[in-house]
Copies of this chain bind each other. A is one copy, B any other.
Amino acid sequence: MPQSSAYQDSGVDIAAATRANQLMAEAVHSTHTPAVLAGMGSFGGCFDLAASTNKGSVLVSSTDSVGTKTLVAAAVGRYDTVGQDLVNHCINDILVQGARPLFFLDYIAVAKLEPLQIADLVGGVAAACRNATCALVGGETAELPDVYRDQAFDIAGTIVGIVERERMLPRDVVVGDAIIALPSTGLHTNGYSLARRIVAKTAATHALEHTPYVLRLPELNHDTLGEALLAIHRPYLHEVEALWNAGVTLHALAHITGGGLYDNLPRVLPDGLGAVVRRGSWDIPPICSWLVHAGELAEREAFHVLNMGLGMLMVVPSEDVHIALNAVSDARLVGEITNDAMVQLI
């Protein structure tokens, strides 16, 4: 039925929404496993638990957004990556409790609905879901011109995963356990408010105020700032599965997000325990080094706001280090658990 003109006059473009729905349908469907029930009505996403549950199963869920990384994406005009950032961030957040993803729902809100842009955003969400065998079972796209600034958008999402109760993490962390790092690809999804301020300051000195992200820098291996800042948040599901398959006993995982090393590692340690992390034992991504230099950040501040290359920290028994490093080629031994209740860079 044709949409009423009074409603369109209100700034809600139903035709664009319909077109966006058509464009995203195929991407969404590509994530569906046999556990997703279709044709049962279209209000709620339906996930059949029969294949997944045993007695003692726990659902682990997390909602997150990608913060102001959306502003970098909008400035660069690239919309196919932040959906991947969002899903991968959520995958890592439930992985630290030992959970594997079951399904995902996205929420996208825009000032003005552009079907191709929405299709790119949802396409990114779907690609990351497929990569993790996670079904994209639902979502909502809202056009809210009076809420969002021109050209601005927000993307948030919710993941639901599952873990056997007795396999939940963290568990059994003791003094002397090793800390192994999996590298980040860059900022992942944290620190963008600070990064954008530093970029703006730098761009001004190059007379690039209006197009700061095209600045191509030797320090970034000749990538542009836009390319370096949009590097996709890395998911660590496959690496953690590789460790499980290799027989490594994981005691804890710490996903280094907002608050950095200093806030995120203590969250998974028992009271009274701490950690040392050795400078120089892993690679700091060029974009992080550049931000520290250009923003004149103190080390403590840098490690509080940025992941500084430490994407995921894994706490394992010291005797499992060798197997772990063999199972995941870019894993690095970076430190160990101590009985001093603080996190120290040494």
Q: Which residues of A approach B to under 8 Å, CB–CB?
A: 1, 3-4, 6-7, 9-12, 37, 40-50, 53, 55-65, 67-68, 70-71, 93-94, 96-97, 99, 102-103, 105-107, 109, 137-140, 142, 144, 146-149, 152-154, 156-158, 160-161, 165, 168-170, 193-194, 196-197, 255, 262-263, 267-268, 295, 297-298, 300-301, 304-305
Contacts and interface: CB of A to CB of B under 8 A. Distances in A.
A6 B142 CA distance: 33
Interface centre among A6, A43, A105 (most CB of B within 10 A): A43
A6 B297 contact: yes
30 contacts: A3-B304, A4-B298, A6-B194, A7-B305, A10-B194, A10-B196, A41-B267, A44-B60, A46-B97, A47-B60, A48-B58, A49-B57, A50-B55, A50-B165, A53-B53, A61-B105, A61-B138, A62-B138, A63-B106, A65-B107, A67-B142, A67-B144, A70-B147, A107-B156, A109-B156, A140-B156, A142-B156, A146-B196, A147-B154, A149-B149
What 10 A-B pairs come out closest when comparing CB atoms? A10-B193, A158-B158, A4-B301, A44-B60, A63-B105, A44-B62, A47-B59, A44-B94, A107-B156, A147-B152
Most B C-beta atoms less than 10 A away, residue of A41, A56, A161, A304: A41
A11 B68 CA distance: 11
A147 B71 contact: yes
Most chain B CB atoms below 10 A, which of A61, A67, A298: A61
Contacts of A43: 62, 93-94, 96-97, 255, 267
Nearest to A193: B10
Assembly of this chain: how many copies?
A: 2
A255 B44 CA distance: 12
Contacts of A161: 44
Given A63-B105, A94-B44, A68 B144 contact: yes
Given A50-B55, A107-B158, 15 more contacts: A6-B297, A6-B301, A9-B197, A37-B58, A41-B96, A41-B169, A44-B97, A45-B62, A46-B60, A48-B59, A49-B58, A61-B137, A63-B105, A146-B149, A148-B148
Nearest to A152: B147
